Amino acid sequence: MRIGITCYPTHGGSGVVATELGKHLAERGHEVAFISYSTPLRLTTIPPRVSFHEVQIVEYPLLQNFPYCLALAAKMVDVARARELDVLHVHYAIPFAAAAEYAKICAPELNLKVVTTLHGTDVTLVGNNPSFRPITAATIQHSDAITAVSRFLAEETYRQFAVTKEVEVVYNFIDPERHQVEAPACIPSCQRADQVTLMHISNFRPVKRVLDVVRVFAKVAAALDARLVLVGDGPDAGPALQLSRDLGVADRVVFTGVVDQVAPLLAVADLLLLPSQTESFGLVALEALASGVPVVASDVGGIPEVVEHGVSGYLAPLGDVDKMAEYALHILSDRSRRQAFCQAARTRAQLFDYRRIVPQYEAIYERVLAGGSTVSG
């Protein structure tokens, strides 16, 4: 098949999933054309059967805010014609599902099929904002197939929008081999053999509740020889650093900034903290599990579909830093228990192996190309 993929080319999980999906599809013999305003970060080389098509940003005094959605739609049409695309697979509804619908309107002769994958905030925070709601609802509904990265998100989509088509759950995936790596030189190794490493990886937006990470860490560090590695950057990085000073643990906190590949960092971690306010899936939790790192997270959104409470980690009520610290200490304070959680984490991650998930997308493409519909009940 010939598949066009559009995503945000940045560090976010949706861009990572879309890019890795495209690379796996190409390995499996499909032609894949990425269409975006810059090369997706995980597309460090262009493998066989993969191409990248840049949406040009045009400056004109009347265009106060460049209408990216329209330029993207036009580029989708160009690429679909040139590459004879069968399917446009857009990752994140806003504004990509709308752009794909415009592309269909502009080039009806191509009979393009649109698959929209919902990733989270395109439904829960942004897409349901009154500024976007009618467009989100209509363009999701018009897609030939709709997928969501968790059951939670599929149910949220039905709840928030009057979607009558089936929203199919296709979970995010990992490549387990990529998580069997050595620790990188850029992270100083622990100062003492029995020191434990807690880690948090995110875009440091308020929804990630990074200050809770620091609060949990301070409680753990009061009881154990521990350090905290914070990976990423964003609005709450400064406040997190300040809080670590206020709580007297700044000397045990390491900031790495943004990194492209998290697997080498996870190789030094003993526990991942993910106290998010909402998380449709929590790709970073899955990446941690694949690295044999148990997760302590908030019991919200799709996280319980990834992390099994009491087996590969623990889930605590949102904002309950005492409980999270208690769970972290329970895992970290006993070496054999920690190892059991590590093993359970790797076992859990196998369920999300790309070899199980990518064929589910292929089956959806085949079905929409054959004219199959997914109207529910």
The first and second tokens of residue 143, run together, are 């897609």
Q: Does 41 bind ligand GMT (CB under 6 A)?
A: no
- Of residues 6, 139, 278, 312, which one binds ligand GMT by CB under 6 A? 278
288 binds ligand GMT (CB under 6 A): no
- When asked if residue 19 is in the footprint of ligand GMT (CB under 6 A), the reply is no
Only one of the segments 7-15, 55-63, 80-88, 247-255 lies at the binding site for ligand GMT (rule: CB under 6 A); that segment is: 7-15
Local structure of 182: helix, strand or coil: coil
Q: Write the CA distances from 339 to 135, 227, 311, 312, 332, integer angstroms.
A: 48, 19, 11, 11, 9
- Interface residue with ligand GMT among 283, 344, 345, 368 (CB under 6 A) is 283
Which CB sits closer to ligand GMT, 244 or 280? 280
Site membership for ligand GMT, residue 279 (CB under 6 A): yes
Q: How many CA atoms lie within 13 A of 74 on its CB side?
A: 11
Strand, helix or coil for residue 151: helix
The answer to whether residue 95 forms part of the interface with ligand GMT (CB under 6 A) is: no
Residue closest to ligand GMT, measured at CB: 120
Write the burial class of residue 237 (CB in 10 Å: 0-12 exposed, 13-18 middle, 19+ buried). Answer: middle
Single out the residue of 157, 178, 165, 127 nearest to residue 20, CA to CA. Answer: 178
In whole angstroms, how close is the CB of 295 to ligand GMT at the nearest point?
13
Distance of CA 112 to the CA centre of its chain: 26
Binding mask 196-235 for ligand GMT (x = CB under 6 A): -----------x----------------------------
Do 148 and 118 contact (CB within 8 A), yes or no?
yes
Give the x/- contact pattern for ligand GMT in 162-201, rule: CB under 6 A. Answer: ----------x-----------------------------
By CB under 6 A, is residue 20 in contact with ligand GMT? no
Interface pick for ligand GMT out of 6, 19, 116, 121 (rule CB under 6 A): 121
Residue 281 contacts ligand GMT per CB under 6 A: yes
Q: Kindly give, in sequence order, each residue whose CB lies less than 8 Å from that of residue 306, ignoring residues fewer than 6 positions away.
A: 150, 281, 282, 285, 286, 289, 295, 348, 352
- Smallest gap from Cβ 147 to ligand GMT, in A, equals 10
Among 280, 291, 298, 312, binds ligand GMT (CB under 6 A): 280
Closest CA to 324 of 346, 296, 366: 296
Closer residue to ligand GMT in complex, CB, 92/327: 92
Q: Quick one: which of 3, 4, 9, 14 contacts ligand GMT (CB under 6 A)?
A: 14
Map residue 163 onto helix, strand or coil.
coil
Indicate the SS3 state at residue 35: strand
Which structure tokens are listed for 79? 């690429």
Applying CB under 6 A, the residues found at the interface with ligand GMT are: 8, 12-14, 17, 92, 119-121, 149, 172, 207, 278-283
